[in-house]
Amino acid sequence: MSGKNILLGVTGGIAAYKAAQLVRLLVKQGASVKVVMTPTAKQFITPLTLATLSQNPILVDFFNSENGEWNSHVKLGLWADAMIIAPATANTIAKMANGIADNLLTTSYLSARCPVFVAPAMDLDMFAHPATQKNIATLKSVGNIIIDAEDGELASGLSGKGRMAEPETITACVSAYFEQNSQLSGKTIMITAGPTYENIDPVRFIGNYSSGKMGFALAEAAAALGAKVILISGPVKLSSNHPNIKRIDVTSAQQMFEACTANFAQCDAAIMAAAVADYRPATVADQKIKKAENNLTITLEATPDIAKSLGQMKSPKQVLVGFALETENGLQNAEDKLKKKNLDFVVLNNANEAGAGFNCDTNHVTIITSGGEKIEFPTKSKSEVANDIVNQLINCLNK
């Protein structure tokens, strides 16, 4: 939690009194805390208490009437490494689920790019109501993390599910999230993606059907775990806007080779997911080649093998991962590549199999390690496959 910026949203429910303890725990664990309250929350706990504990002014209104300044929800949303809404009333949950932005808290929620934790707190019947349950399910489906309400005595005198999770539980949940999502912090990972185009003449090239999806999914997965990612991409129709991803666009195998060798020394690991052309025209015509009566023969020469070169440059601490896209004798070919390119592990997939390989959203891979382990995964989305590969990379980096 240390050094993290936490935006705590407090809404108008009796459990708001627990927000004081929550702020104390977060600050004690090293977080910077800003509190945004709904107007009704002020009826349950004084802003002065939360301002004193958080050591920051409390934000309630869009405008600060004292100095005429605007409390920018956009800046707040960008400042936060995590937003916690505790307590989250049925009313605020309903607004969040429906994109209603009628106060500073709900507006900041819509602006937040960070993970959002929601701790519902209300009476048992409000909590059990299908409308509330549907809204909670909506929040979950868009990636919010729900810290479930607890069973017990309620302020109404009734007993049942609806009590806000204890501040200790909320803090533990947020801190576990940060821990789990920072496994690659401080690491720099280079990832290649997409095809390469090898020019024949000014208007023609030799290319392949690689979409770049696997490489981009790997970049996102590594960046989400805190890595600084250098994504070296051939021509693709994809975009990435994670702040940890620095993208270098290249076209040919030679350009990819130069970008990779220039950057590898500063990297802890490299994942070679690009479908690099193995051959390129030995000469590139200056002008468009004219159609003639006879057949055309183009002499091809080998491109540099980037993975193999990095395998030779690799220090004992660096981890190198390659892909083997095969149509036959997969295991044998993958094992040969592992040795020839000095890889730590190779990810084998079959180009002929439905739901695997180029230009689709799923992949079916087997990881083969330099220690002789073979781990086959079921067919999964490329982002799930990326997580499996990145987990294997973390194992190697921690060895």
Residues taking part in catalysis: 208
Residues between 88 and 107 with contacts to ligand C5P, criterion CB under 6 A: none
Instruction: Give phi and psi for 51, each to the nearest 5.
Output: -65, -40
Least separation in angstroms between residue 259's CB and ligand C5P is 12
Q: Residue 362: how many CB atoms within 10 A of its CB? A: 17
Residues between 125 and 184 with contacts to ligand C5P, criterion CB under 6 A: none
Least separation in angstroms between residue 375's CB and ligand C5P is 17
Q: Cβ closer to ligand C5P: 120 or 322?
A: 322
Using CB under 6 A, which of 322, 364, 385, 393 touches ligand C5P?
322
The verdict on 336 binding ligand C5P (CB under 6 A) reads no
Using CB under 6 A, which of 306, 338, 389, 397 touches ligand C5P?
306
Using CB under 6 A, which of 8, 274, 319, 390 touches ligand C5P?
274
Least separation in angstroms between residue 392's CB and ligand C5P is 14
The verdict on 216 binding ligand C5P (CB under 6 A) reads no
Q: Cβ closer to ligand C5P: 86 or 324?
A: 324
Extended beta strands in 30-181, E state: 32-37, 82-88, 116-120, 145-146, 150-153, 159-163
Q: Given the rule CB under 6 A, which of 35-43, 55-63, 303-311, 369-377 is the region that contacts ligand C5P?
A: 303-311
Distance from C-alpha of 165 to C-alpha of 84, rounded to nearest angstrom: 12
The verdict on 117 binding ligand C5P (CB under 6 A) reads no
Q: Cβ closer to ligand C5P: 175 or 318?
A: 318
Distance from C-alpha of 240 to C-alpha of 221, rounded to nearest angstrom: 12
β pairing state of 362-363 and 374-376: unpaired
Least separation in angstroms between residue 305's CB and ligand C5P is 4
Distance from C-alpha of 20 to C-alpha of 57, rounded to nearest angstrom: 14
| Residue 173 contacts residue 148 (beta carbons within 8 Å) | no
Distance from C-alpha of 99 to C-alpha of 277, rounded to nearest angstrom: 47
Distance from C-alpha of 371 to C-alpha of 202, rounded to nearest angstrom: 46
Q: Cβ closer to ligand C5P: 220 or 305?
A: 305
Specify the 3-state DSSP secondary structure of 5: strand
Which pair of structure tokens corresponds to residue 309?
């070169």
Sign of CA dihedral 268, 271, 277, 278: positive
Least separation in angstroms between residue 279's CB and ligand C5P is 9
The verdict on 301 binding ligand C5P (CB under 6 A) reads no
Q: Given the rule CB under 6 A, which of 4-12, 96-104, 274-282, 367-375 is the region that contacts ligand C5P?
A: 274-282
The verdict on 272 binding ligand C5P (CB under 6 A) reads yes
The verdict on 323 binding ligand C5P (CB under 6 A) reads yes
Using CB under 6 A, which of 83, 232, 307, 389 touches ligand C5P?
307
Distance from C-alpha of 8 to C-alpha of 45, rounded to nearest angstrom: 14
Would you give the binding string for ligand C5P spanning residues 188-207, x where CB under 6 A is met? ----x---------------
Distance from C-alpha of 196 to C-alpha of 275, rounded to nearest angstrom: 7
Specify the 3-state DSSP secondary structure of 272: strand
Which pair of structure tokens corresponds to residue 374?
């073979």
Q: Cβ closer to ligand C5P: 95 or 382?
A: 382
Least separation in angstroms between residue 54's CB and ligand C5P is 49
Least separation in angstroms between residue 368's CB and ligand C5P is 13
Distance from C-alpha of 237 to C-alpha of 192, rounded to nearest angstrom: 15
The verdict on 311 binding ligand C5P (CB under 6 A) reads no
End-to-end CA distance of the chain: 26
| Residue 260 contacts residue 192 (beta carbons within 8 Å) | yes
| Residues that bind ligand C5P in the complex, under the rule CB under 6 A | 192, 253, 272, 274, 276, 278, 303, 305-307, 322-324, 337
